[in-house]
């Protein structure tokens, strides 16, 4: 009996399959061809006043550059024009410039803070500093990028009601090299100095990482405990007249973007400016 049942099912199965409705045939719909993107790259090179945690760079990349440009912040805190090269950070930047797939690559270069006398990172203003800045321009061009020189962001220091621009000589050296080598120039030093003088000490203090008098953070980093994953970094934040908190980063990043739109017209379609 069981064999007869199986035989009947076997005979009927093809008929049941034939009775199933056929899937409708999909007719391809004509669609316009997808336009290929034409991406660009912007690389930031410099010290802590450009770097993540302390500089204008994160706000610039995050809020002032369109998604059609890959913005890479390679600035590093505590570096001078000399030590950035000697430690190999400039080699990393050059490799980024040589990466294929981009229609145009720009590199913004800002040094000066750690080139000042006082530490073993310093460079001679008359010989070494100009020599290194020229090297950045030459080697960026050789790598296929467009170097853009940026004068150092001013410190927000005051004597009474007068702003003290201690970085003016380094800014002037950068201006001379930009003119000599016909490189685009963002005069962030002059712009930021005027802005800080105009707003005064109290308003400029808001641009610091922490309010005046607040205890610095990150002096002691957490240690790994047995059986636990590696701890994350605690940022080193403090009140000073050099480094930037979020408000300061946003303010000066918008300043840089505005100057770029004027100095490098090709970049205008990639830049986003804060509307007044």
Query: Given pLDDT bands bounded at 50, 70 and 90, which one contains residue 162?
Result: very high
Alpha-carbon distances, residue 32 vs 25, 27, 35, 144, 165 (angstroms) = 22, 16, 9, 34, 57
Q: What is the pLDDT of residue 15?
A: 47
Q: Classify residue 83 by burial, with Cβ atoms within 10 Å: 0-12, 13-18, 19+.
A: buried
Which of 6-10, 149-153, 163-167, 262-266 shows the lowest per-residue confidence on average (mean pLDDT)? Answer: 6-10
Asked whether the beta carbons of 123 and 132 are under 8 A apart, the reply is yes
pLDDT computed for residue 19 by the predictor: 54
pLDDT at position 138 is 98
Poorest-pLDDT segment among 12-26, 70-84, 151-165: 12-26
């Amino acid at each position: 009996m069981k064999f007869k049942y199986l035989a009947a099912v076997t005979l009927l199965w093809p008929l049941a399959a034939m009775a199933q409705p056929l899937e409708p045939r999909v007719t391809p719909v004509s669609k316009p061809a997808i336009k290929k993107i034409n991406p660009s790259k912007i690389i930031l090179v410099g010290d802590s006043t450009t770097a993540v945690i302390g500089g204008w760079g994160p706000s610039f990349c995050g809020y002032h550059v369109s998604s059609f440009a890959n913005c890479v912040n390679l600035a590093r805190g505590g570096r001078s024009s000399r030590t950035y090269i000697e430690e190999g950070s400039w080699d990393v930047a050059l490799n980024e410039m040589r990466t294929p797939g981009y229609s145009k690559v720009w590199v913004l270069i800002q040094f000066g803070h750690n080139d000042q006398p006082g530490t073993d990172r310093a460079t001679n203003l008359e010989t070494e500093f100009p020599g290194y800045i020229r090297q950045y321009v030459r080697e960026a061009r050789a790598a296929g990028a467009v170097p853009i020189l940026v004068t150092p962001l001013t410190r927000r220091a005051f004597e009474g009601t007068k702003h003290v621009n201690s970085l003016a000589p380094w800014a002037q050296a950068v201006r001379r090299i930009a003119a000599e080598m016909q490189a685009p120039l963002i005069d962030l030093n002059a712009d930021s100095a005027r802005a800080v003088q105009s707003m005064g000490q109290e308003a400029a203090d808001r641009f610091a990482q922490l309010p005046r008098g607040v205890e610095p953070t990150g002096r002691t980093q957490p240690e790994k405990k047995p059986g636990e994953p590696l701890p994350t970094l605690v940022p080193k934040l403090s009140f000073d007249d050099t480094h930037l908190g979020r408000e300061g980063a946003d303010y000066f990043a918008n300043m840089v973007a505005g100057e770029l739109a004027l100095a490098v017209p090709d970049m205008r379609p990639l830049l986003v400016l804060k509307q007044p």
